[in-house]
Amino acid sequence: MLTRGYGGPLRYVQGPGVLKDLGGYAAGLGQKALLLMDPFVDQTYGDALRASLAAAGVETVATRFNGESTEAEVARCAALAQGCGVVIGVGGGKTLDTGKIAAREAGARIITVPTIASTDSPTSSIGVIYTEDGVYVRVERCYRNPDVVLVDSEVILKAPVRFLAAGMGDALSTWYEARSNFESRSNNYIADGYAVTIAGAQIARACHDTLMRDGRAAYLAAKAGCLTEAVENIIEANTLLSGLGFENCGVSGAHGVHDALTILEPTHHFFHGEKVAFGIICLLVLENRPLPEIEEAVRFCAFLGLPVRLSDLGLADVSDADLLRVGEEAMKPTNVIHSVHRDLTARGIAHAIRTASTIAEQILAG
């Protein structure tokens, strides 16, 4: 029997107005905190965050995130975190990733406070390193999940609805990629990798079911500025269920295509979850899934304004040579696409990408 492993954050708290509770959670982890914020977050919520920490007796070292989770940015934040008991990352996925890796380097605890529901980074024990130009470099394992994930749904709702949609694109990959890993018997991302637990598999499935049930209604409600139960459910799906699902089951071809596509400059203008959404269609083609399943994913993504065709990613005129370059990038040994239970080649991946776009074009034209 294979050894099973499961992991996740110690605490997950979601609801309207919970941002004001940050100080209380931080005080239980350390008396000095590095507060790492997106510039917009600092301008909008910085004073309130500092006040909450001060009221709880937590000394604060505050800094603004520089925009990319590069090695240099991680090193800068890790240096600032020396002597701090806790690192608090507030903002988007790259800010949180930088905070997690910096906390690992400084030996500090970690709180993540996502201000958008566009990725599943907040709950996980891994962070992604990019170049200054936004090209994927590698995944860093932190070997501990955040101690607290604090999600203020009112803050999430104030962000452009495109972020929530992108989060659904990322979350939609959770079950499809979990299934890939079940078939290839690949390890998950707990520590150095274990077999999947029943709990992890069921969470991945629940993520998919929640998206299918509430995704469209949540999108429309959020677009109208309304905080409904469907919106709360999708915030949880994008953040907690997707985060636990991918870490406890593993990712696969959708993220593999995403990572490889970053070598093409036009894709740099799109969010992580938007590129992953297109990667899902490519994964389903690679695995030769039934056309009705592909159509369900295409129509769901298209309703949310997520890319399902090359033209949606600014790649309408992409050459076969460039797609072959993407395939070659995907075939690198470190790429997660190798969790797909198929014999893969660079040419085969390039053809799957082109075919996915063509199928989506046909479906949406019908």
**Same domain, residue pair 18 and 57:** yes
Q: Which domain holds residue 118?
A: 11-158
**Same domain, residue pair 150 and 192:** no
Dihedral (Cα; 44, 50, 51, 53), 10-degree rounding: 140
* Average of per-residue pLDDT across 261-268: 93
**Same domain, residue pair 227 and 302:** yes
Closest CA to 89 of 44, 49, 34: 34
pTM over 0.85? The answer is yes
**Same domain, residue pair 186 and 110:** no
* CATH code: domain of residue 117: 3.40.50.1970
Contacts 24+ apart (CB under 8 A), 220-226: 222/157, 222/161, 222/164, 223/161, 225/157
In a domain, 132, yes or no: yes
**∠ at Cα 54 (51, 58), nearest 5°?**
140
Task: Provide the residue type at 267 as one letter.
Answer: T
In a domain, 228, yes or no: yes
* CATH code: domain of residue 343: 1.20.1090.10
Phi, psi at 265, each rounded to 5° = -55, -40
**Same domain, residue pair 100 and 202:** no
Asked which of 111, 142, 158 is the last residue of a domain, the reply is 158
Contacts 24+ apart (CB under 8 A), 226-230: 227/16, 227/153, 227/154, 227/157
* Average of per-residue pLDDT across 215-224: 98
**Same domain, residue pair 141 and 269:** no
Asked which of 104, 129, 158 is the last residue of a domain, the reply is 158
* Contact criterion met (CB below 8 Å) for 145 and 8: yes
**Same domain, residue pair 333 and 261:** yes
**∠ at Cα 121 (353, 49), nearest 5°?**
140
Distance CA 99, CA 111 (A): 9
**Same domain, residue pair 21 and 64:** yes
pLDDT for the residue 136: 82
**Same domain, residue pair 142 and 270:** no
Closest CA to 68 of 140, 139, 133: 133
Which runs of consecutive H residues, i.e. helices, occur in the chain? 22-27, 39-55, 71-80, 93-106, 153-158, 161-184, 198-223, 229-236, 242-249, 253-261, 272-286, 291-303, 320-330, 346-365
- 246-266: burial string, b at 16+ Cβ within 10 Å, e else: bbbbbbbbbbbbbbbbbbbee
Phi, psi at 263, each rounded to 5° = -75, -15
**Same domain, residue pair 198 and 310:** yes
The band of 249, judged by pLDDT with boundaries at 50, 70 and 90, is: very high
Percent of the residues in the chain that have a pLDDT greater than 70, as a whole number: 100
* Average of per-residue pLDDT across 215-226: 98
* Contact criterion met (CB below 8 Å) for 14 and 151: yes
pLDDT at residue 1 is higher than 70: no
For the stretch 279-315, pLDDT in tens is 999 999 999 999 999 999 999 999 999 999 999 999 9
Domain count, the chain: 2
Closest CA to 80 of 97, 107, 61: 61
For the stretch 28-82, pLDDT in tens is 999 999 999 999 999 999 999 999 999 999 999 999 999 899 999 999 999 999 9
Closest CA to 341 of 247, 250, 252, 248: 252
3-class DSSP state of 114: strand
**Same domain, residue pair 171 and 115:** no
DSSP 146-215: -SEEEEEHHHHHHS-HHHHHHHHHHHHHHHHHHHHHHHHT---SSTT--BPPHHHHHHHHHHHHHHHHHH
Residue bearing tokens 């999430």: 156
The band of 134, judged by pLDDT with boundaries at 50, 70 and 90, is: confident
Longest dimension (CA), the chain: 61
**Same domain, residue pair 60 and 174:** no
Asked which of 110, 128, 158 is the last residue of a domain, the reply is 158
For the stretch 79-92, pLDDT in tens is 999 999 999 999 99
**Which residues are known to be catalytic?**
170, 255, 258, 272
